[in-house]
A and B are shown apart, each in its own frame.
Chain A
């Protein structure tokens, strides 16, 4: 039997040279006459170890990383193909503390299987959820999702089952399942990992949504910045269709579900669900006023389930293991797990799937090992570009939608961007306004014009002078207008990073003492 050697094909692994490492391993094995079976798996999500090469041994998979082309000869000299010791050896992959201390429910197959192997997907529990769903009445499938407590993982945290129930109950000849894969937030890539590393899981989740609601057409709106995810997902859809998991009469059932990918075109606003619908319909990504909600009148005016990638990817396990199994993870009304992304200036950056309730301090130091630069961590932006900058005083709040909201924070899509003490929070606040100005769809005034004025006001504050105090008041007024007057979350939440920076780091704005918060 040739020994199995795994080299990831995740974009982040490729960005660190995984293709060259894979080629060098194949060449060196051929040179030495060693038969190997080179598998391109997804990434385990421990990016400081990428490219992470694994070797199958009788005791389990042994990890080596980070591996460069220069290490290949010495790895073979050390007999790494038997799992032998080497300075890059990290022991059994599953025993690495970073992985062992996670609750990998949705990401259980991530990095384990070859992304496009239907056989491996099924051998690791894949399609068990869909098969079970096909034995249930659609209303029972919806009930499972309701009972699991699953909330939208894209940021808004709306209960997924309620959306599904609304669409299931809406009479229409055509209903749609739309997957929002326009993962534009800096500090997030869990959607990308799913599409590149375990794409059949997303397909299975969407098929279950179709069975539950009576939708027969699905679309994945996938950002153009993710060419590898696009190629992998399209290949996976073709394979799943050929194998009868998609298409007419899926698995011989009365349910039909056709799935296609639509490539986005680099507009952040199209991650907002109604702007995304406009974009799929072939228009500019301009936000729609709600109501009507998309579950009633969505894509092409038809009832539409819109869920983010991670939400849909969480569903197969719920159907396979039961709602209670999933619901038992988490705290309060935040059930299940969240794939958290540790990013930016962090020593051990990566994907950490944990049950709700974990704290930032545990994530930053227990998993992340502190900053990459070795300097003190100054601020953590949680939940993407529209999330607050969180100072150390709040790092012990449990990760929980309600607990975060109570202190002005957002969970968002689970991205943490770490900044060390060289960061200038006034410039990050300015960037938040600038980004809003670049990406505003232009439909509502507070967002379109407020963001531009915001940049100007922040510049006037940081220049100092006797008008500084009045400009701070003006910035707070402006943020208040954006918060209450914007049509969607872009204008409505840009004040989060701006005001949190101003409130917690006034010295960065040239303000001497802490600024009292506006009532």
Chain B
């Protein structure tokens, strides 16, 4: 995976992932998931490879890739924090927590993003199914409930001191 680090997309790896699922009915989402799971994002170079394997246009693949919130076309930080912004979490202070998170990480309060040191990506999520223990967040898919500003700071500090993936 050194090629991910130096910025060159690992074309052979992508080819193999595409080939493994291309015969599945409705293969596009499973393929995009596999690529993102392996590389952390779906690089632009994958679009053409997928399109030709599935007999789709690049526009069709790009249309799907950009439609779904889950898919990323650029790498995220080693730690991805998904903060729930939906109603149940709002009722327990999620908007304050989001503002605190953006403030702490010096990010645009409208969208979140990746912190300047490249350590943490903050993204909104609309429901983690932890609505009775709000507000909730997921740290690299690991759930945390009843999160307050103090706990958020602890999670961020821990994530910065230990590489998470």
Residues of A within 8 A of B (CB): 11-12, 14-16, 47-48, 50, 183-189, 191-192, 224-228, 262-268, 279-285, 300, 341-346, 349-351, 372, 381, 385, 415, 417-420, 423, 428, 431, 435, 439
Contact A184 B30 (CB under 8 A): no
Contact A281 B68 (CB under 8 A): no
- The listed residue (A262, A285, A349) touching B132 by CB distance below 8 A is A349
A435 contacts which chain B residues (CB < 8 A)? 86, 126
- The listed residue (B30, B90, B91, B92) touching A263 by CB distance below 8 A is B30
* B 53-107 contacts with A by CB, 8 A: 54, 60, 63-64, 67-71, 82, 84, 86-92
Q: Closest A residue to B145 by CB, please name it.
A: A15
Q: A12-B145, A262-B30, A282-B28 are in contact. Are A189 and B92 (CB under 8 A)?
A: no
A345 contacts which chain B residues (CB < 8 A)? 91-92
- The listed residue (A48, A264, A344) touching B88 by CB distance below 8 A is A344
The number of residues on chain B lying at the interface, defined by a beta carbon within 8 Å of a beta carbon of chain A, is 44
- CA of A262 to CA of B68 in the docked complex: distance in angstroms? 14
A423 contacts which chain B residues (CB < 8 A)? 91
Contact B127 A225 (CB under 8 A): yes
Contact B143 A282 (CB under 8 A): no
Q: Is B29 an interface position by the 8 A CB rule? A: yes
Residues of B within 8 A of A (CB): 25-30, 32-33, 54, 60, 63-64, 67-71, 82, 84, 86-92, 125-134, 136, 138, 141-146
Contact A267 B144 (CB under 8 A): no
Most buried by B among A11, A50, A281, A345: A11
A415 contacts which chain B residues (CB < 8 A)? 88, 131
- CA of A341 to CA of B164 in the docked complex: distance in angstroms? 33
Most buried by B among A284, A343, A372: A343
A385 contacts which chain B residues (CB < 8 A)? 86-87
> Across chains A and B, which 6 residue pairs bring their CB atoms closest together, nearest first?
A349-B132, A186-B86, A282-B28, A265-B68, A343-B131, A266-B70
- CA of A268 to CA of B54 in the docked complex: distance in angstroms? 26
- The listed residue (A11, A372, A381) touching B92 by CB distance below 8 A is A372
B129 contacts which chain A residues (CB < 8 A)? 11-12, 183, 188-189, 191-192, 225-226
- CA of A228 to CA of B126 in the docked complex: distance in angstroms? 17
- CA of A185 to CA of B131 in the docked complex: distance in angstroms? 10
Contact A263 B133 (CB under 8 A): no
Q: Provide a sorted-by-A list of 26 A–B residue pairs whose CB atoms are within 8 angstroms.
A: A12-B145, A16-B133, A16-B145, A47-B133, A186-B87, A187-B87, A189-B130, A192-B129, A225-B125, A227-B141, A263-B30, A264-B29, A265-B32, A265-B33, A265-B71, A283-B64, A284-B67, A342-B132, A344-B88, A346-B132, A385-B86, A385-B87, A415-B88, A417-B87, A423-B91, A439-B126
A228 contacts which chain B residues (CB < 8 A)? 143
B141 contacts which chain A residues (CB < 8 A)? 227
Most buried by A among B132, B142, B146: B132
Closest Cβ–Cβ distance, residue B28 to chain A (whole Å): 3
A263 contacts which chain B residues (CB < 8 A)? 29-30, 33
A346 contacts which chain B residues (CB < 8 A)? 132
B128 contacts which chain A residues (CB < 8 A)? 11, 225-226
- The listed residue (B27, B68, B71, B127) touching A285 by CB distance below 8 A is B68
- CA of A460 to CA of B85 in the docked complex: distance in angstroms? 23
